[in-house]
Structure 1
Amino acid sequence: MISPRGATVTDNQPNSTAIYRFSLDINTSFNGTDLLKLRLLAGSADSNDNAAGFLEPNLGSTLDFAVPGTEQISLARLYYTFSLTPNLSVTAGTRMVAGDFVDKNRYANVSFRDFSTQALVNNFLLLPRPGGAGAAIDWQPNQGSLSLRAVYIASSAAENLPENQQFFGGGGVNDIRLFPVSGGGTAGGLFGDPYLAVMELEYAPTRSLTVRLQYSRGEVLGSNFQALGTNFDWAITPKVGIFGRYGYASYPDTTVGDIYPSYWSAGVSFQDLLRKGDLAGIGIAQPFIVTEIGNATQTNFEAFYNFPLSESIRITPLLQIISDAANQNSNGAIVTGTIRTVFTF
């Protein structure tokens, strides 16, 4: 197995592993229309615990719930949402993640419920630095079919969250660094480098169809980036739906020059497929389509079947297949199987 830059990651087959994550949400409302969100989090801290994420850590193959965190309980979310008008809500906080407010999808967005591969959970190019302190707005004029959302995140205004907040590639000597190893420095603070700003326009002409148009930009290590995205979900019937995402980005002055990667994902979802309350899905993504890195295009596949054992326990067998991993055609297919068990209280 080789990395995007040609170095050997490993020659050995991975072993079976166990991964855990504990999340406690404390939601408080003072008037019925507001929300004070506090989330405590702890989980596996070893980066080798997830085979797909160890063999291919750069391009969104990691299971979203398996991203290395900390075994100590830490603060993962802290923000307050309130309504300025019946059509406009505002959020501000010191622990926020952009994906909580934009790039949602009814079929591919919640890694403990549906797809778990990171490249299927969110647009891989749109949110490269999603966590920190910031603010968000959600405006739905006249409670109609159009909604406008905006999020601003300053990563250095607060300590990093225990989710994956690294730059693409994480910074290892054999990883991709989309931003310069030593750029213009970081100003820090609430309005300095690094930061991420996202705008999203959502159109929902019916209850069954939603389309989103997105734009993000930001700065990391003195280097600017911009991305365009689109995202849709369509409930063809109450039990069958399809979804898709597309992204195109500009990353100047990277360690491999100026690059313009694109991304896409698509899939189908089934509800009550074999028994009432179950959920199944099949998805495919090409997270980083670019000619400057590797000699092929990585493709991620995932299939899962989520069924309830009880009201509080759900079990999900899932299969991941990664072809041309790390954009290298010399890499054989990575095939991993996972049993995801979720306990809710």
Structure 2
Amino acid sequence: MKNQLWQTLKVAPTVLGASLLLAGAAIAEPAPQVTAANDSELQLINQINDYSQTSDDGLGQVDSVNQLRDVNPGEWAFEALRSLVERYGCIEGYPDQTFRGNRATTRYEFAAGLNSCLNSIERLIANSQSVLREDIATLQRLIQEFEAELAALGARVDNLEGRVAFLEDNQFSTTTKLRGEVIFAVAQGFGDVPFDLNVLPGAPGDVTLNTSGGEAGEDTESITTFSDRVRLNFDASFTGKDRLRVRLQANNTANLGNDLFNSNGAARLAFDGPDENNVDINRLEYRSPRLGRFRFYAGTEGVDGDNLVQTVANPFFEASGSGSLNRFGRFNPLIYRTDTNSGFAINTEFSKQASLDVFYTAQDANLPEAQNGLFNGSFATGAQLNFTPSKATTVALAYVYSSDISGDSSVDFGDDNSGRIGTNPFGNAVTNAHRLGIQASQRLGERVNIAGWFGYAFAFAQSDAIGDDDEFDDAAILTASLNIAFLDLGKEGSVLGFIFGIPPYNLDIDNFNLVGATAGSDFDSAEDFNDIPLYFEGQYKFPITDNISITPGAYVLVNPNQNSNNSPIVVGVIRTTFTF
């Protein structure tokens, strides 16, 4: 489109005149009019492009050029343009009645208005609508008088088009946006390796060896770590309202629960994933545009319950890179952590205030093997009702049914968020469960938000674990949390947060088998493992810039593995997050 405006303006009088001559049969004596031009002339006319249109919602049509205060009335050009505006409605302006233009000079603004009228009239001719002969003559005279300004306007547009063309030729993709997040984290854990029902004191003076975290009951070796996580999201859209996401991730952040605290998940950082910074596809998912009341979702990698619902009702602590420092503080683990990897969902919108999510997830949907595949292996299916009665209030009611038939130690409720007692009640036995949860978030004014959840699961063993007689055993597990966020405290965008909660807590501890218990010790019966685990977190997210934030904080687990004789677990963290 380069240089077309200037070339078009040179021939515009000729084109319009030719249009008039060809349409002579349609001219009436009282009000001479001209109809459409032929195809060759329309090809030239169509080169006149609409350079002055805007997309501002606040702009409206101006009924008369008298409303344009920036144009000096009384001059011939003003009167001529006024006549065209009143007849064809061809100039737009701000609601305050000022001319938009390009704000360089009055003549340049006037030239922009003239160009808009020229475009409007050529469209009328192209659509076989009539135009007065006198108006064509007026346009020809105005074009001659403002030739320099129109040419300058064309040069500026040509320059802009050139820059846009360069960006289009050199951009990564016309349909895909790249978004990234990088985390640097300094962390250190403190406390003893906790006992659980599979790691108990043996004879006096002895302890059962825990190969993953050292010897139970001994102090952990307090070592400061410095680690990272890198995510690159490639978000493609084919309609402007759908999204295909491919996420690449590299991570070397250690699992503190395994490395320090006897597989106790409460010690885990929200962003851990020790894979030695190997790059792999961490997420592959597609969200459809809304089709009437429905929206569809499907994912083959990195998909769990929290990805399949509209909300987890925890707006300031959900994100792993900028929310809670710990996995437990992000969302209800009994509902959204189902130990699956792929699935699909349908969201039905009843109104702006209510919707329903129905989802299905599978653990190893890609494997064509026995007890695997999309429908033959471990799975979870559920539904969630979402209510948003106001912008400040969100409530979600959820039900999930899960079945883990893998027959290994992955049977889990809450992804080991409190230790094996609360989240792995039957070891490697085949386990089914009904899970219920309520999640809610309430904004209190501009600077305070309160959110939380309550979850309950009824689990029952469908087989015997290795070495145990677990079949037909059952366990009730509950979890709860409450958090409060103070916003813009110290700086706009900052968040001072506190999280309190009960990680998954097994109410039916009598179903467990003790290993190596010593009579008279603090661990000689299952009842010694019936203390409620408690979780506390405090953090302050401080934005350095719009794309860099630093979050110092700490979290504490009291009564790990449901035993008050275990010392508290304490983890301090300084997390720096970069987004781009």
Q: TM-score, normalising length from structure 1?
A: 0.85
Tell me, yes or no, if structure 1 residue 310 matches structure 2 residue 516. Answer: no
Is the contact between residue 40 and residue 75 of structure 1 (CA under 8 Å) also seen in structure 2? yes
Residue of structure 1 in register with 2:147 after alignment: none
Cα offset, 1:276, TM superposition: 1.4
Cα offset, 1:84, TM superposition: 5.2
Tell me, yes or no, if structure 1 residue 140 matches structure 2 residue 349. Answer: yes
Residue of structure 1 in register with 2:57 after alignment: none
> Pairwise mapping of residues 147-166 of structure 1 onto structure 2 (< 5 A)?
147-158=355-366
Q: What amino acid maps onto 2:247 in structure 1? A: R
Distance between the aligned counterparts of 1:276 and 1:286, measured in 2?
31
Residue of structure 2 in register with 1:114 after alignment: 323
Cα offset, 1:287, TM superposition: 1.1
Cα offset, 1:16, TM superposition: 0.9
Distance between the aligned counterparts of 2:244 and 2:541, measured in 1?
30
Deviates more, 1:301-310 or 1:37-46: 37-46
Tell me, yes or no, if structure 1 residue 251 matches structure 2 residue 467. Answer: no
Q: What amino acid maps onto 1:193 in structure 2? A: G
Distance between the aligned counterparts of 1:45 and 1:269, measured in 2?
26
Residue of structure 2 in register with 1:195 after alignment: 379
Is the contact between residue 61 and residue 300 of structure 1 (CA under 8 Å) also seen in structure 2? no
Distance between the aligned counterparts of 1:20 and 1:75, measured in 2?
17
Distance between the aligned counterparts of 2:537 and 2:259, measured in 1?
14
Distance between the aligned counterparts of 2:353 and 2:258, measured in 1?
39
Pair 1:147–1:288, CA change in 2 (3 A): same
Cα offset, 1:18, TM superposition: 1.6
Q: What amino acid maps onto 1:330 in structure 2? A: N
Task: Provide the secondary structure at the position in 2 that maps to 1:64.
Answer: coil
Distance between the aligned counterparts of 2:376 and 2:266, measured in 1?
27
Cα offset, 1:58, TM superposition: 3.6
Residue of structure 2 in register with 1:91 after alignment: 297
Residue of structure 1 in register with 2:579 after alignment: 344
Tell me, yes or no, if structure 1 residue 30 matches structure 2 residue 238. Answer: yes
Tell me, yes or no, if structure 1 residue 2 matches structure 2 residue 194. Answer: yes
Cα offset, 1:80, TM superposition: 1.3
Task: Provide the secondary structure at the position in 2 that maps to 1:191.
Answer: helix
Residue of structure 1 in register with 2:285 after alignment: 79
> Pairwise mapping of residues 119-134 of structure 1 onto structure 2 (< 5 A)?
119-134=328-343
Residue of structure 2 in register with 1:296 after alignment: 531
Deviates more, 1:68-77 or 1:212-221: 68-77
Is the contact between residue 52 and residue 336 of structure 1 (CA under 8 Å) also seen in structure 2? no
Distance between the aligned counterparts of 1:22 and 1:310, measured in 2?
19
Residue of structure 2 in register with 1:217 after alignment: 401
Is the contact between residue 224 and residue 252 of structure 1 (CA under 8 Å) also seen in structure 2? yes
Is the contact between residue 248 and residue 283 of structure 2 (CA under 8 Å) also seen in structure 1? yes
Residue of structure 1 in register with 2:250 after alignment: 42
Is the contact between residue 501 and residue 534 of structure 2 (CA under 8 Å) also seen in structure 1? yes
Residue of structure 1 in register with 2:391 after alignment: 207
The structure where strand makes up a greater share of residues is 1
Tell me, yes or no, if structure 1 residue 15 matches structure 2 residue 223. Answer: yes
Q: Alignment partner for residue 100 of structure 1, among 307, 324, 329? A: 307
Is the contact between residue 99 and residue 130 of structure 1 (CA under 8 Å) also seen in structure 2? no
Pair 1:203–1:197, CA change in 2 (3 A): same
Cα offset, 1:298, TM superposition: 1.1
Distance between the aligned counterparts of 1:286 and 1:239, measured in 2?
26
Distance between the aligned counterparts of 1:186 and 1:246, measured in 2?
36
Task: Provide the secondary structure at the position in 2 that maps to 1:210.
Answer: strand
Deviates more, 1:107-116 or 1:228-237: 107-116
Q: What amino acid maps onto 1:200 in structure 2? A: Q
Residue of structure 2 in register with 1:182 after alignment: none
Q: What amino acid maps onto 2:354 in structure 1? A: L
Distance between the aligned counterparts of 2:259 and 2:494, measured in 1?
27
Is the contact between residue 195 and residue 217 of structure 2 (CA under 8 Å) also seen in structure 1? no
Structure number with bigger Rg: 2
Q: How many residues align?
A: 317
Cα offset, 1:71, TM superposition: 2.3
Q: TM-score, normalising length from structure 2?
A: 0.52
Gaps of 5+ in 2: 1-192, 201-214, 406-429, 510-525
Cα offset, 1:245, TM superposition: 0.4
The structure where helix makes up a greater share of residues is 2
Task: Provide the secondary structure at the position in 2 that maps to 1:339.
Answer: strand
Q: What amino acid maps onto 2:579 in structure 1? A: T
Superposed CA offset, 1:20-59 (max 9, x none): 1111101000111110011111101643xx3797326344
Q: What amino acid maps onto 1:74 in structure 2? A: D
Task: Provide the secondary structure at the position in 2 that maps to 1:100.
Answer: helix
Cα offset, 1:63, TM superposition: 1.3
Pair 1:57–1:239, CA change in 2 (3 A): farther
Residue of structure 1 in register with 2:480 after alignment: 264
Pair 1:46–1:281, CA change in 2 (3 A): closer
Q: Alignment partner for residue 491 of structure 2, among 246, 250, 275? A: 275
Is the contact between residue 22 and residue 41 of structure 1 (CA under 8 Å) also seen in structure 2? yes
Task: Provide the secondary structure at the position in 1 that maps to 2:260.
Answer: helix
> Pairwise mapping of residues 170-181 of structure 1 onto structure 2 (< 5 A)?
none
The one of the two structures with greater contact order (alpha-carbon pairs below 8 A, sep at least 6) is 1
RMSD: 2.2
Is the contact between residue 304 and residue 337 of structure 2 (CA under 8 Å) also seen in structure 1? no
Pair 1:248–1:65, CA change in 2 (3 A): same
Pair 1:304–1:122, CA change in 2 (3 A): same
Residue of structure 2 in register with 1:55 after alignment: 261
Pair 1:104–1:52, CA change in 2 (3 A): farther
Q: What amino acid maps onto 2:295 in structure 1? A: S
Pair 1:123–1:61, CA change in 2 (3 A): farther
Cα offset, 1:67, TM superposition: 3.7
Distance between the aligned counterparts of 1:333 and 1:55, measured in 2?
11
